[in-house]
Structure 1
Amino acid sequence: MMKPEPSLDTGQLLTAQEASAMLGIKPATLYTYVSRGLLHPLRQAQRKANRYLLEELQSLKVRSSVRQGSGPVAAAAMRWGQPVIETSITEIEADGPRYRGFLATDLVRHPGRFENTAELLWSGLQTDGPQTWPVETVKVDVARALEAVLQQGRNRPRMMRVFSIVATVLGGGTLEQELRMGSTERLSRQMLFAFAGACGLLGPRGVYQPPQVEQSLALHVIESMGVAKAPALEHAINTALILSADHELSSSTFSARIAASTGATLHACVVAALATHQGAALAGGTDAAEDLIESLHSNVDLRDRLAEAELKGQRLPGFGLPIYPNGDPRAALMIKLAQQTAPGSAQADLALRFVEGVNERLGLHPNIEMGLVVLCNAWQLPPRSACALWGIGRTAGWIAHTMEQRLAGFTIRPRGLYQVNR
């Protein structure tokens, strides 16, 4: 009889002995996996032995089941990232995501505008000149709908919930009406404008700020947050939105596709994605990474937090993404941009040194969550800005996947593998 696996925290770092036991292999086989590039051990400054990310071990274990028949293969696909749906939107490579063949980090450099990236994801058409969308007046009172959120306190609202309320209020029509009018892209732009206006809840006024003039979406976000406009900051916001726009079939994107496959409206698909995105493994992790950085007030705090993480073998929020064993290129670009263009502060300096310390002592690279946090911290944007930017940017990807899933014409309906409790 097989022994049940121990209950482990998915952020845990395992020793070689624990990793071997989990995979059911000998230590020599584990080192063979490492030499073949199937595993990527983390080297820690104060430890002689390497550690292994639990997520990567689980992924390897599931992939080994592909010869066991269709049932295990399907279970593997649903759990740990084997391809399950054909898509022409995004491909993930070592140098980051490619949107319809264009490397996301290249799109940051040219044309460098989020609107261009959104239209590329939606239609597959790439334009060279920076795009600006016309502002439309919506017929619903978004500010009034958000009053319930404001009544619970203006301090650090949960932005995925805020965006969900906005999308729900805007989505009053039916799918038939949306398709008959051919208004999917217009409704998409309208929704993104409203999300930008909702960033006003993070600013000093703490209220919804509907866009008024035709300008880039990045400038709408800056204006809503009550931050002084600057070309370098506009570029930083565009960078964050572009790099956040899509990442293939993440959990939240899969939720949007499931909703789309059942005939849900555009707004309902985005709400389904937002509900998933707010989890601790996604946008909720951004808030946790932000709280971690804000807890550092001195070099002593920095050293103590690193020592604690090393002693306990913890994976800190905002670090370590198995799909990028050599580091998340999206985070690397945002952190580099923060170093080169942001005005900076003592807190921003601590954040940057903490990221370096985690890499040196724990062998962990920052992921997109920490990249967003460091960039927003360096520009001294309001708390929870990182989470908001990720939600706005990723909405463009959710919309693209909703469109693609509708064209696919099938309902996503996984099967359950029934097991009797004994």
Structure 2
Amino acid sequence: MSHPGKGGEYLSAAEAIRLLGVKAQTLYAYASRHLIRTIPHGNKRLKLYSREDVEHLRERGHARSGKRFTASGGLRWGEPIVHTAITEITDAGPKYRNRLATDLARSNCSFESVAELLWSGISVDEHICWNRPPPALDPDRLINALGALRSDVQLIHAFLILALTTGIAPHNRDEIRQGTTTLVARDLISSLPGCFGYIAKRRSYHTCRPSTGVAESLARALGMSEDEEVVSALNAALILVADHEMTPPTFSARVAASSGSDLCSCIVSAICTHSGTRVRRACD
């Protein structure tokens, strides 16, 4: 049954759930992200959901599942929704591989442990460290070779340079040729915190010791205190954004991956997309 309202017809929660074929929590998540407009209904704490928005999401769902797949159909209604098989939206918050993200953030596990969980589905309840070597090519030398002043280096450009150089490092090229990417991913994630030195007082890349964890490396690059409280807070923040809602760069990375691009090329594609003024500057 449709309900008339300002701006068009509206549906009850049950009707919207049936049309979309999703759980109630997913419907509420769509509404909270402003993907579906809502209006209050009666004196109760109930809401009605825009039929137009629900039908748009349903159409996009069909395009993603292959029922009526076309590129234009998948993007017809604007920014795509990227489905994930590793995160579930629940009343208690997002779950990574059936583990509450908030529980992981409060636990003793490191960001590296959570990354391994997302990649493999294997839960590691301990504070692991990857112990990866520093970048094969010095980011500072590359930036100087490009004629850029360190004081003018934007963080996202430093990310791009590091991702590109990680992908062309000989040992990483060999691994990619073998069809594996875990070590390359570890190298890249372990190296990226050093880029934050460009927005700290040092204005240069901060090379971290191989035995240093990602959160501690980030604190050092930023020139922050390295006490346990600060590092734990950074580690928790990294865990909570491990699977994020940044749809454009995620979509871009998936398009690159579908064409057979290697891992670092996919990351570069995502970073370039994230540099857009409607994404990066909105976040900054």
Residue identity opposite 2:148 in structure 1: Q
* Greater fraction strand: 2
The correspondence of residues 5-404 of structure 1 with structure 2, limited to 5 A, is 17=6, 20=7, 25=8, 29-30=9-10, 39-41=37-39, 59-60=53-54, 62-63=56-57, 77-78=74-75, 79=77, 87-147=84-144, 151-152=148-149, 154=151, 157-172=153-168, 177-181=174-178, 184-247=181-244, 250-287=247-284
RMSD across aligned positions (CA): 3.7
Q: Separation in 1 of the partners of 2:60 and 2:164?
A: 41
**Which residue type is aligned with residue 277 of structure 1?**
H
Check the 8 A contact 1:89/1:248 in 2, yes or no.
no
Give the drift of 1:80.
5.8
**Quick check: 1:63–1:76 contact (8 Å CA) kept in 2?**
no
Give the TM-score normalised by the residue count of structure 1.
Answer: 0.50
Q: Given that residues 145 and 166 in structure 1 are in contact (C-alpha distance below 8 angstroms), is that contact kept between their aligned partners in structure 2?
A: no
> What is the Cα deviation at residue 207 of structure 1?
0.5
Secondary structure (helix, strand or coil) at the match of 1:97 reads: strand
Structure 1 match to 2:47: none
5+ unaligned residues in a row in structure 1: which ranges?
Answer: 1-15, 43-55, 288-422
Deviations 1:386-408 (A, max 9, x none): xxxxxxxxxxxxxxxxxxxxxxx
**Structure 1 equivalent of residue 44 of structure 2:** none
Distance in structure 2 (CA, Å) of the matches to 1:67 and 1:257: 16
- The answer to whether the Cα contact below 8 Å between 2:109 and 2:128 also exists between their aligned partners in 1 is no
Q: CA deviation at 1:110?
A: 1.8
Per the TM alignment, residue 125 of structure 1 is displaced from its structure 2 partner at its CA by: 1.1
Contact 1:252 1:277 in 2 (8 A): yes
Contact 1:76 1:82 in 2 (8 A): no
Letter of the 2:54 counterpart:
L
Deviations 1:178-197 (A, max 9, x none): 24556522211211122111
State the 1:76 CA deviation. 5.7
Greater CA deviation, 252-261 or 93-102? 93-102
8 Å Cα contact 1:96/1:103 also seen in 2: yes
Amino acid paired to 2:56: V
Q: Which has the higher contact order (CA 8 A, sep 6+)?
A: 1
Residue 243 of structure 1, CA deviation: 1.2
Q: Give the letter for the 2:228 counterpart.
A: P
Decide whether aligned partners of structure 1 residues 40 and 152 sit closer, same or farther in structure 2, where only a CA change above 3 A counts: farther
Q: Secondary structure of 2:89's match?
A: strand
Identical residues among aligned pairs (%) = 30
**1:112 CA drift (Å):** 4.0
Shift of 1:208: 0.4
Report the CA distance shift for 1:84/1:285 in structure 2 as closer, same or farther (over 3 A): closer
